[in-house]
Structure 1
């Protein structure tokens, strides 16, 4: 196949410092190695424009308007248009005009849609190859929210789930291939939209060079006496908020009864008021945004991922494993990672299991270090980005010869 690629993402793929941006960043790099790539994405903060030069360096052309629509306005538009709030929130007339112009003036052989919200920018009459990377089945996530919440919020989440399910089905029917982050997510989508569509996994990878414990110095405050439990993630994301509340309120107090020095470190940007309040409790430190999470991982006695709602593969878990940390994960956070329980990590099914596992491993540092070494070996052997994106040329319709020439 000859021609360029149009890449549409709901967020700027720079810097690769949160789950979705890590994936979009490495996918973009892989696409740029196949053919010239034109990038349409949305900026969310003024700081995003500090990275526009990095985007321009990899893209043949790009458009990055600022997303400024308030959630309240997006909600009202969604009600009027009978569509998911997610679509209304990411609609941009400026980006839409740029897509139309790019398709009219460039030979775009393939479009790669990153995240379902961006499918709205693909014209109905587009005749080239369309690949849609949903990453996760978002409709299932909102279904889970709706079951946990009552009143107006529960109704909003149930509505979003129902309408997103329709969007996902429509995109799967249009796409030459629909990608999900794991086989489990792919099978979930097949069960919801039909098995006649091409729905395949594209696993997340990890930058094992950057996430190398040999090149990172532990944060000074975690190098002191511990033990130190660490959670990393975007801290205005509801599943992450629920996870740190669970650990701080239901798990840590029982650990501190045995080891009063135990400390829980919550590391990640935009902590909500509920998360900040956790920092008022004994043994909890809320760090907020940090320049680099790796020193916190390097200093962790253990990394915990006690999520109760989790879609796809958790980058936070892969990063901790690559940094040779002993990870205790919930069953939900373990989804899509084929590591072995008890060898590469430990999966805990309940609050009691988290407490029991943590105390067991605190008392057995040699066993903990064995798990940490096995974790890095597992990631090194199976989850490099070059390996996980190797099938993209074929999925987009480009031959191996074209890729090698590029």
Structure 2
């Protein structure tokens, strides 16, 4: 069977959660016979990064494509938004769309897997049998941004994106034979918003970092996430305003790590006492080695959070919210608080001995429940059961609930 796998962006570098999940899926499928990856280059993708991807996925065939430029890009957002609306795609999906890649898919037969939300743009007009692996249910996640909007302009933009994203998602789902989501909560959102049952649940996973040597320092905290993702930045700002003052007075420091940092955001965050803004770090092992605990202050967002799993994989105890812990089994490695004040109080009350216990449990949890081997086993078994792979692999796919 011919299998086409589609990603709307090259998953290297692993600079945020979505590329981590895409890379995990691709590594799990790398040895599948007659499998081809069709992927859109990012604007700053280099030849070295393409070669790195090919080496990582050998012997899988890899074909790269350029995104199709907006026809009216010179007009700025009005030109991009109008063209995106005409094409039925959210603007951020249209910015990753390649007409050449879509044409190639129309010439192919067999089965196909769309990785991530933007890849849903390719499921129409082909003769392929599609599976859509979704990081989140757009109809639910973008609607949360309306509730978080602080001013009228942002609220109107959020309403527009909610409408166009929900319509795009519903149309793409109608052309997909099967669909997977990252958590049981996401499966319920898919049912509630689209009256569609998830074919299976595939929790996001992260590899345990090879050679990582934790050297936790007392009162050193860390935040990890993309600064370009609005729910991350909104949650961080709320934590800094409401929870951080008590921790700063107690002598804590907080290091902020992640991609998408702009100069204005850096200047804003630098004003908080005890906060160190690092931005993107390619190798997290050194950056997280001294962290005593991590904070994941999220009050919106969907699915299993790669930032939470990444911290746990590096033996960093996590203090978060119910949103930040979605899809993670109840564990001593994770403490959940309802608001920033409660999160800060929980941190201040946790002893050094308790943090040591949490750190040990963190790596055990990831190794047993969220390992790369377990992810690959679940994925290949589920895809084989649904007819996308010629032979059934190891057992262990987690059914939708």
Task: Give me the TM-score of the superposition, normalised by structure 1.
Answer: 0.86
Q: State the shift of 1:79 in Å.
A: 3.5
Superposition deviation, residue 50 in structure 1: 2.4
Aligned partners of 1:67 and 1:92 also within 8 Å: yes
Matches of residues 224-303 of structure 1 in structure 2 within 5 Å? 226-257=218-249, 259=250, 261-272=251-262, 273-303=264-294
CA distance, structure 2, for counterparts of residue 168 and residue 66 of structure 1? 20
Looking at structure 1, the residues matched to 111 and 394 of structure 2 have their Cα atoms a distance apart, in angstroms, of: 14
- 1:308 corresponds in structure 2 to 299
Deviation for aligned residue 1:48: 4.2
Answering whether residue 43 of structure 2 is matched by residue 45 of structure 1, we say: yes
How far apart are the structure 2 equivalents of 1:198 and 1:401? 20
Judged with a 3 Å threshold, the aligned counterparts in structure 2 of structure 1 residues 401 and 262 are, in CA distance, closer, same or farther, namely closer
Residues 345 and 372, structure 1, Cα contact 8 Å, conserved in 2: no
Asked if the contact 1:44/1:67 (under 8 Å) is kept, the reply is no
Structure 2 CA distance, aligned partners of 1:396 and 1:17?
Answer: 33
Determine if contact 2:299/2:321 at 8 Å carries over to the other structure.
yes
Aligned partner of residue 50 in structure 2, secondary structure: helix
Structure 1 residue 24: Cα displacement:
0.5
| Alignment partner, residue 78 of structure 1 | 84
Distance 1:322-1:402 versus aligned 2 partners, 3 A rule: closer
- Indicate the RMSD between aligned Cα atoms, in angstroms: 2.4
Q: Which runs of 5+ in 2 are unaligned?
A: 396-401
SS of equivalent to 1:269: coil
**Structure 1 residue aligned with 2:66:** 65
Of residues 347, 350, 373, the one that matches 2:336 is: 347
CA distance in 2, matches of 1:147, 1:207: 34
Report SS of the residue matched to 1:11: coil
Q: 1:394 aligns with which of 385, 390, 399?
A: 385
**CA offset digits 1:361-406 (Å, max 9, x no partner):** 1xx10011111111211111111122123233334532436899xx
Structure 1, unmatched stretches of 5+, are: none
C-alpha distance after superposition, 1:210-255 (max 9, x if no partner): 2x5xx2256xxx87x6511101111121112122222322212111
Q: Which moved more, 1:278-287 or 1:48-57?
A: 48-57
What does the per-residue CA deviation read over 1:125-162, in whole Å, with 9 as the maximum and x for residues that have no partner?
A: 51x42100121012212111112224233222212212
Using a 3 Å threshold, how does the CA distance of structure 1 residues 129 and 82 change in structure 2: closer, same or farther?
closer
| Aligned-pair CA distance for 1:189 | 0.4
Structure 2 residue aligned with 1:374: 361
Which residue, out of 11, 14, 33, partners 2:12? 14
Following the alignment from structure 1 to structure 2, what is the Cα–Cα distance between the partners of residues 249 and 378? 31
In the alignment of these two chains, the number of paired residues is 381
Distance 2:241 2:254 in 1: 11
Partners of 2:41 and 2:64 within 8 A in 1: no
Q: Is contact 2:313–2:362 with CA below 8 Å preserved after alignment?
A: yes
Whole-Å Cα distance in 2 between the matches of residues 86 and 239 of structure 1?
A: 16
Change (3 A) 1:66 1:124: closer
- Superposed CA deviations along residues 265-296 of structure 1, whole A, max 9, x for unmatched, are 00112213234321132101100122312222
Contact 1:33–1:403, Cα closer than 8 Å, also in 2: no
1:384 to 371, 374, 382: 371
2:243 counterpart SS class: helix
Give 3-state SS (helix, strand or coil) of 2:323's partner: coil
Change beyond 3 A, Cα 1:82–1:63? closer
The 3 A distance-change label for structure 1 pair 14 and 4 is farther
